[in-house]
Amino acid sequence: MRYLPDTAAYAFFDRVADLSWSRRTKGARRLRANLARVVPEADDATLDELARQGLRSYFTYWCDAFRLSDWDSTRVNRIEVRDEHHLWQALAAGGGAVGAVPHMGNWDHAGAWCTAHGVAVTTVAERLKPEAVYRRFLEFRQGLGMTIYPLTGGDTDVMATLADHVRANDFVPLLADRDLTARGIPVSFFGEQASMPAGPAALALRTGAPLVPLSTWFVGRSPDHTLVLQFDAPVQVPATGSTREKAAAMTQRLADVFAGRIVDHPEDWHMLQKLFTADLTPR
């Protein structure tokens, strides 16, 4: 995939996406069910086409991921950045920034753009199995200039380490639209209950850094697609309440911002897993 011409590489991944849809794989069915919450007015044919395009967007992310480490600066900068002043203002204050990111578009490309523009980016990576796969993802993201820590199984307190990086004026973006642990915060999302991670809000409260939502989506057809990177205004910290109550209110605000971006670009929301509480088993 790294050495094929652009047209051939992306055409191959489009074919894989279409095959996944035609076979109605588990991920394809889940994506369609999740999108049904986003566009409840859509008829079956419209929803089917939206899910098919969603899979194409998802596989475009993967094709990008295979090839991103070989991109030159021109390709890395094929990105439309909107309202980036929210990031620069936060970093200019010297106290770092925490980012909250939904599973949209290509967050790795967004990270590469940030590092290419002098931003110190620190984040976490899920420890995948087998270990060799996790190591490849680690090397890939480190190769883009990011500092990466394992989400679990590491030798350090991840939250404390991330807090140190925030205080050193790093930008710490974290995926924030899905959490199935007992520590997740219940939110209203597209009119239903879901659970989102407390980490972004908790880290912002711990460090006093702004919590900046950011979303990405694709414009145009691959291989000539452009990535849009949208920064939204920092989430306000409630004036009263316990730390948990403040984190819950801030996480609900993130859910509201994410929902607005996903409604506008549903085909670029790569949620191929269960998310809504109603879809989970009782345990």
Tell me whether residue 271 is in a domain: no
Per residue, the 3-state secondary structure of 179-217, as one string, reads CCCCCCEEEEECCEEEEECCHHHHHHHHHCCCEEEEEEE
Angle at alpha carbon of residue 254, lines to 251 and 255, rounded to 5°:
90
For the record, the structure tokens of 94 come out as 């010297």
In a domain, 123, yes or no: yes
Q: Residue 33 domain-assigned?
A: no
What's the pLDDT tens digit per position in 119-158? 999 999 888 788 888 888 889 899 999 999 988 777 789 9
Tell me what pLDDT residue 282 has.
74
Q: Does some domain include residue 55?
A: no
Residues contacting 147, CB < 8 A, separation 6+: 120, 121, 122, 123, 165, 170
Of 223, 205, 65, the C-alpha closest to 140 is: 65
- Domain containing 227 equals 74-266
How far apart are the C-alpha atoms of 37 and 49, rounded to whole Å? 15
- Give the total number of structural domains in the chain: 1
- Report the 10 Å Cβ neighbour count for 269: 25
Q: Is residue 147 part of a domain?
A: yes
Q: What is the mean pLDDT of the chain?
A: 95
Q: What is the pLDDT of residue 182?
A: 77
Residue 186 lies in a domain: yes
Give a yes or no: residue 283 inside a domain.
no
Do the Cβ atoms of 16 and 22 come closer than 8 Å? no
Residue-level pLDDT at 180: 75
Tell me whether residue 5 is in a domain.
Answer: no
What's the rounded mean pLDDT across residues 89-108? 97
Residue 161 has pLDDT above 80, yes or no: yes
Confidence category of residue 97, pLDDT binned at 50, 70, 90: very high
CA quadruple 265, 86, 239, 165: dihedral sign: positive
**Mean pLDDT, range 225-253, rounded to an integer:** 98
Percent of the chain with pLDDT over 70: 100
- Residue 171 DSSP symbol: E
pLDDT computed for residue 283 by the predictor:
64
Calculate mean pLDDT across residues 3-18.
97
